[in-house]
Amino acid sequence: MSKRLSVLALLACLALSLACAPRAMRGGEGTENPSMDNPAMSTTLDKSDIDYLVSQNLGGLFQSRFWSEQVMGSPKQPLMAIWPIQNATSEHLDDQMLTLLSSIETSLINSGEVQVVAKARQEELAREIGIQQGAIYDQSQAARLGRQLGAKYFVTGKLTNVDERLQKTRRVQYALFVQIIELETGLVRFQHETARSKALKN
């Protein structure tokens, strides 16, 4: 009898531990949790923030005079290269910056109005002509690489933030600047800024 009780007790403990174990959930459109990605979990930049910053900046680009006259009015699709967006915030955002670049690249390609140099080709050519990683935000190096690529424009920009605290509340204001630089002249042909704020209350 005691052996049987021990087995039952063991099974009960096992069932209890399984009931309390972490459970993975799938979220997003078409799942049982379609709004899972909506709530902010921290003040760090997340996918929703990136989508907003990119869509607002690229929306401004597509509605700009530069886009209608210099891009859509061009006899052939201009070639654009995307230079890295500088992380000028106080946070470590390597993964977010890669997502940001990919989102900008996707939006430009899907516009159907420009040709975009593949990021892998840019990196390969940068190595070939000796552009060091440390010179990644140097405009003269960007121009040098652009000429080698045959690009007419470079897309670049900067992500900044302002971090404030008041009593138990922390607010972080992010701003994404996007620029289109004409390689032949070095002139900024388009610039746009979009802001996004996040707060954490304890």
Burial of 44 (0-12, 13-18, 19+ CB in 10 A): middle
For residues 27-38, give the mean pLDDT: 74
C-alpha span between 137 and 187 (Å, rounded) = 16
Q: What is the pLDDT of residues 46-91, one digit of tens each?
A: 999 999 999 999 999 999 999 999 999 999 999 998 887 889 998 8
C-alpha span between 155 and 177 (Å, rounded) = 11
- Work out the percent of the chain whose per-residue pLDDT is above 90: 42
DSSP E strands in 15-139: the ranges are 79-87, 115-116
Query: If residue 198 lies in a helix (H) or strand (E), which one and from where to where?
Result: strand 188-201
Residue type, 108: L
Mean pLDDT across the chain:
83
Read off the pLDDT band of 105 (50, 70, 90): very high
Cα 176 to the center of its chain, rounded Å: 10
Read off the pLDDT band of 16 (50, 70, 90): low
The whole model's pTM is what?
0.79
For residues 169-173, give the mean pLDDT: 89
Measured CA distances, 21 to 15, 141, 173 (Å)? 10, 53, 37
Lowest mean pLDDT among 11-15, 32-36, 70-74, 176-180: 11-15
Residues whose CB is less than 8 angstroms from the CB of residue 135 and which lie 6 or more positions away in sequence, other chains included = 141
DSSP code of residue 78: P
Residues whose CB is less than 8 angstroms from the CB of residue 106 and which lie 6 or more positions away in sequence, other chains included = none
Count of positions (residues) in the chain = 202
